[in-house]
Amino acid sequence: MIRDRAGGGTVLRQQPAEPQPPVSPPRAMAAKAGAENFPVALRMLPRRYRDHLMAVYTFARTVDDIGDEAPPDQRLGLLASLSADLERLYAGPPGSLPGHPAVRGLADVVADCGIPMRPFRDLIAANEQDQVVFRYQTFDDLLGYCQLSANPVGQIVLYVFGSYTPERAEKSDAVCSALQVIEHLQDVAEDYRAGRVYVPLDDLRGHGCRETDLAEPAASPQLRGLIAAEAGRAAELLAEGAPLVGQLGGAARLAVAGYLGGGRAALAALARAGYDVLAVTPRPSKGRTAVAMASALVRGR
- Between CA 48 and CA 130 the distance in angstroms is 33
> Alpha carbon 29 to chain centroid distance?
14
Residue 60 lies in a domain: yes
Helix (H), strand (E) at residue 262 = helix 250-272
Looking at 84, 102, 132, the residue that finishes a domain is: 132
- Say if residues 134 and 194 touch (Cβ distance below 8 Å): no
HSE-CB for 223 with a 13 A CA cutoff: 22
Q: Would you place residue 206 in the very low, low, confident or very high pLDDT band (cuts 50, 70, 90)?
A: very high
Burial of 249 (0-12, 13-18, 19+ CB in 10 A): exposed
pLDDT of residue 45: 86
**Do 114 and 139 reside in the same domain of the chain?**
no
* pTM for the whole structure: 0.86
pLDDT band for position 90 (50/70/90)? very high
Give 53-67 pLDDT, tens digit per residue.
999 999 999 999 999
The verdict on residue 2 lying in a domain is no
Contact 50, 43 (CB under 8 A): yes
**Arithmetic mean of pLDDT, 101-116:** 96
216 and 190 in a single domain? The answer is: yes
pLDDT recorded at residue 23: 53
In which band, very low, low, confident or very high, does the pLDDT at 51 lie, cut at 50, 70 and 90? very high
Is 138's pLDDT higher than 80? yes
What range does the domain containing 154 cover? 135-301
One domain for residues 87 and 123: yes
Q: How far apart, in Å, are the Cα atoms of 51 and each of 40, 54, 104?
A: 10, 5, 14
pLDDT, tens only, 184-199: 999 999 999 999 999 9
CATH number for 213 = 1.10.600.10
Q: Are 153 and 236 found together in one domain?
A: yes
Q: Maximum Cα–Cα distance for the chain, whole Å? A: 82
Q: Is residue 300 included in any domain, yes or no?
A: yes
- Which segments within the chain are labelled E, that is strand? 2-6, 9-13
Residues 283 and 236 in one domain: yes
The reply to whether 170 and 296 lie within a common domain is: yes
